[in-house]
Amino acid sequence: MIDRLDGRLIELLAEEPRIGVLEASRRLGVARGTVQARLDRLQAQGVIRGFGPEVDPAALGYPVTAFATLEIKQGQGADVRSHLSSVPEVLELHTTTGHGDMLCRLVARSNADLQRVIDKVVAYDGIVRASTAIVMENPVPLRIIPLVKQASED
């Protein structure tokens, strides 16, 4: 899948995203063309989706995060999806196995504001029930490097 060099390249880019291809090639001790080729390949394969800016919702004024488990009326899945995707505070949505049918990540301006967001979310026929867990701490923020390391060292 990916080899050590790919892994090191991804780690390097994760640590210092501002560096260019040339600087990366120096750090890795390989030719510039090699880094260029690896990067192109990683992006073509979809391993690297892109280099979009990582925006912190808290800094945007949405310091409260919560996860909501939703129970959906049978056959309403598609409509619920499009309803939820129209709510900006819904940062992601998954359909899952288990007791709930969907799991979504929400943000809000405050705990009070979270009520407004949840109301907006459940204000839809297809949603039978929602149970919400507010995030208190985030000991492990979304990360990928440890996995990249493991995958590249196989």
Partner DNA sequence: TTTTCGCTGGGCAATCTGCATAGCGGTGCG
Partner DNA sequence: CGCACCGCTATGCAGATTGCCCAGCGAAAA
Q: Footprint of DNA on this chain (CB under 7 A)?
A: 5, 18, 20-23, 29-34, 36-38
**Site of interaction with a second copy (CB under 8 A):** 1-2, 10, 13-14, 17-18, 45-62, 65-67, 81, 84-85, 87-100, 103-105, 107, 131-144, 146-151
| Nearest approach, Cβ of residue 120 and a second copy (Å) | 12
**Which one, 43 or 85, has the nearer CB to DNA?**
43
**Which one, 34 or 95, has the nearer CB to DNA?**
34
Q: Which does 76 bind (CB under 5 to 8 A by kind): DNA, a second copy, none?
A: none
Would you list the DSSP string of 1-14? ---HHHHHHHHHHH
CA distance 45 to 125: 40
Answer whether 91's CB lies under 8 Å from 57's CB.
yes
CA distance 151 to 154: 6
CA distance 134 to 91: 14
Q: Which does 81 bind (CB under 5 to 8 A by kind): a second copy, DNA, none?
A: a second copy
Q: Please, what is the Cα angle at 10 between 5 and 16, to 5 degrees?
A: 125
**Which one, 38 or 83, has the nearer CB to DNA?**
38
DSSP letter for 144, please. Answer: -
